[in-house]
Structure formats: structure tokens, C-alpha cells
Amino acid sequence: MSPSGRYVALFKLPYENVSPKAGDAGQVILVDLKTGKEKVVAQSRGWEVQLGANVQWGKSDHELLFNDVDTLSWKAFCTVLDPFSGKKRHLGGTVFMASSDGRKIASYDLMKSTYAQVGYGVIVPKKLVKRNFGADQKDGITVIDINSGKSKQIVTLKDLYQTTIPSIQFKNSNDYEFYCFQIKWNPQGTRLLTTLQWAPVKGGPRKRSVITMRSDGSEIRTAITPEQWEKGGHHVNWTADGEHLSMNLNVDGKEGLELIEVKYDGSNLKTVFTPGSGHPSYHPKGLPLIITDAYPNESITARNGIVPIRLLNMASGKEENIVEIFVSKIDGEFRIDPHPAWDKTGRYVIFNGYINNTRNVFMADISEWLLKQGFSLK
């Protein structure tokens, strides 16, 4: 949703059941929530199935951000587009996530993202993409100032692996491939989190760790160790205070996951709701509410392709399903995650679904529910 709240930007895949091919273009769509009209404002060749072209907003409605690829040079970059005038410019790197104030973007090498997990990067001819053997000294996290275009790599994979505290180092690390997977700003724009993952070059299970840092790459800390994650877990995010992270994690050794909070340095881990599931997102105004969904195979579902959008109240320990949505039983690259998220006001919940044999995006206005529960958005 745009900074003014009037527009929603979406990405339309050119096809939904085939892996993307280098050079194939999808559409960037602008929806006017006041009139209900939508229009195509751009095309992009920098996409994959799960996140599209990472379409999001800068500091105003006149800055729409998305990834694209130059098919002559096969370089990937972030486009900054004014969707009303059509004026655009290219930044010197890709976007995974823009900061909450819309002034900076952060990314890692999204062309290599397919080696970490299919669906979250951009596609170029595979022969052009080198794998990372060992913790690479060139691949890493880059932050770009949207206004000036100034770009800086704040850490390399080698920095993350060798300097994070507590240490995650192990023997024979050069026999493993290392990659970042996802990079997320905290709401204040002061810290970043990423997942560092590694797997044996010759094949075998991967291991993962959640690592945080200041926005300049300093104070690198291990929030979740590989030993903690391998017991079972998924989907990490920041909480509203910008000091803590949330994650679905097995912390009691029993079947199923708990929704936990942990400080950016790995301390003060605690369970905040049971059971955990899906993609938890904390209310942006600090209300004791979490919106989440579930994967179709998680125990809280009927395993029939229909999943709940769960509204969790941490203060009362109660939950309510605001809707149940069909996402199909498709797994892997082509799965449909509802992945609910709040808008910045905390009034709307936006999520995906699969209706009429195609992917859809839905918005739910829960302001009346919030008022009935005694919550205020002022």
C-alpha cells in the first residue's frame, strides 16, 4: 500500500505454473483504491514466483520500486518509477526490502538467490551466475540511498560468518556453499536481519542461522543459532519495537512450533503464543496483536488446501480467524502463501489467495473489529 494509503501496487506473473525464464516479463500494476481502477504502469524481467519483482514503495506515492533486468547486459537493478508521470531511473543494485521511511533499500545478490531457495530473486541465464564456495568475500548485503543512488556493501558473507557473536564457525567451511536468504529492516531503519545458510557442496541438508546488524553493518549478532533452528522453525521477522525478532521455533522439544520473541543478540528468548504457524506479523502500532496464516500442511489446518488467517491476541492468549482462504495443496516453487501483513496504519490486513484458478491479493478492513475489542489506532 502506498504511503498515502490510496494506492496498492502489485505484480502480475506472465504465467503461474512454469518456472520463470530469463527475459520473460511480468507486469507492475497500480490499483486506485478510491476508484477501483487499475492499470499497468511498467513491465519487469526481474522476478521469481514467490515475491514477483519485489514491488514496494519509496518515501511517497511518486516512488514505486521494483526489480528489473537488462537483457543485453543481464544486469539486475532496482527501478524507481513515478507511476503517474512515467519518469523512472535505475539504481546500482537490486531491492529486497525498502526501509519503513522509504529512503533506503537493502539487498544481497538476488541473481544467486535461486541457489539459496527458488522463488525469491531474479532470473538471468544460469551460466552467468557463479556459486559461492565457502563464505564469499564479494557477495554480501548492500544498502542503497534511493534519493542519491549512493550504494555501499555493508557486510560480506565472510564478515557474517567469521564475526557474528555467538560464533557459528565450523571446520571445513570451504566445502560448503554459503548464501543470504532474505534481508529485512526493522521498523526504525536502525537494524537489519538476514538468514545465513550453508549446505555441503557435494549435497546434503542445509543449516541456517539468523543474524542481525546495525544499518551500517556493525554489531553483527547471532539471534538464532543453527542448533536452535535445526530443531524446527521458519519465518523470522522484526517486532514493532525494532529490538526484538519473532519466529516460529520449536523450543520445547515437542511436536509443533511455538511463536517466540528474541532480542537481536539472541538473548531474552520467550514463547508468546502457542501454536505458532505461517508468517507472523506484529501490529505496527504496538498493539498486542499478531496476524499470521498457516502452511497447508501445518497441524492447525484440515490439510485440504484451505488455511486460516489468524489474529492472535498476546494479552489475552485468545485467537480469532478473520477469514479462511483457499491456497491449494501446491508445494515448492509454485505454492501460494497467504503471507498476511499489516498496512502501516494497522487498519488493513493484506494477504494472498487462490481463487478462480489464479493468484489473488485481498485486503481486509478490521478497524471495526479493533474498536469492538477496545483497541484504538490513534
3-state helix/strand/coil string of 336-371: CCCCCEECCCCCEEEEEEEECCEEEEEEEECHHHHH
Cα 268 to Cα 340: distance, rounded to the nearest angstrom:
26
Residue 168's pLDDT is what? 99
Query: Using the 8-state DSSP alphabet, how is residue 302 labeled?
Result: -
- Beta bridge mates, 263: 244
The DSSP line for 20-47 is --TT--EEEEEEETTT--EEEEEEES--
The reply to whether 315 and 369 lie within a common domain is yes
Phi first, then psi, for residue 86 (nearest 5°) are 85, -5
On whether residue 104 sits in a domain, the answer given is: no
pLDDT > 90: percent of the chain: 98
Q: Which of 334, 329, 282 lies closest to 302, judged by CA?
A: 329
Say what the pTM is. Answer: 0.97
Rounded distance between C-alpha atoms, residue 160 and residue 152, angstroms: 16
Tell me what the pLDDT averaged over the chain comes to.
97
| pLDDT score of 166 more than 80 | yes
In a domain, 80, yes or no: yes
Task: Pick the last residue of a domain from 227, 251, 269.
Answer: 269
Q: Are 198 and 173 in contact (CB under 8 A)?
A: yes
Task: Give the CATH number for residue 364.
Answer: 2.120.10.30
Q: Is residue 261 included in any domain, yes or no?
A: yes
Cβ partners under 8 Å of residue 90, min gap 6: 68, 77, 78, 79, 80
Q: Which residue has the cell 524446527?
A: 232
**Count of Cβ atoms closer than 10 Å to residue 352 Cβ:** 16
Query: Do 247 and 285 belong to one domain?
Result: no
| pLDDT greater than 90 at residue 304 | yes
Per-residue confidence (pLDDT) for residue 122, from 0 to 100: 98
Same domain, 38 and 163: no
pLDDT of residue 317: 96
pLDDT (tens digit, 9 = 90+) per residue, 105-136?
Answer: 999 999 999 999 999 999 999 999 999 999 98
pLDDT digits (tens, 9 = 90+) for 310-346: 999 999 999 999 999 999 999 999 999 999 999 999 9
- Burial class, 319, CB count within 10 angstroms (exposed 0-12 / middle 13-18 / buried 19+): middle
Per-residue confidence (pLDDT) for residue 377, from 0 to 100 = 84
307 Cβ contact list (under 8 Å, min separation 6): 278, 293, 294, 295, 296, 298, 301, 324, 325, 327, 338
Residues 144 and 231 in one domain: yes
Indicate whether 378 pLDDT > 90.
no
Q: Total domain count for the chain?
A: 3
- Residues 256, 308, single domain; the answer is no
Residues 225 and 299 in one domain: no
Give the cell for residue 230: 535445526
In the numeric block, which cell numbers belong to residue 100?
A: 519503513
State the residue range of the domain holding 58.
1-91
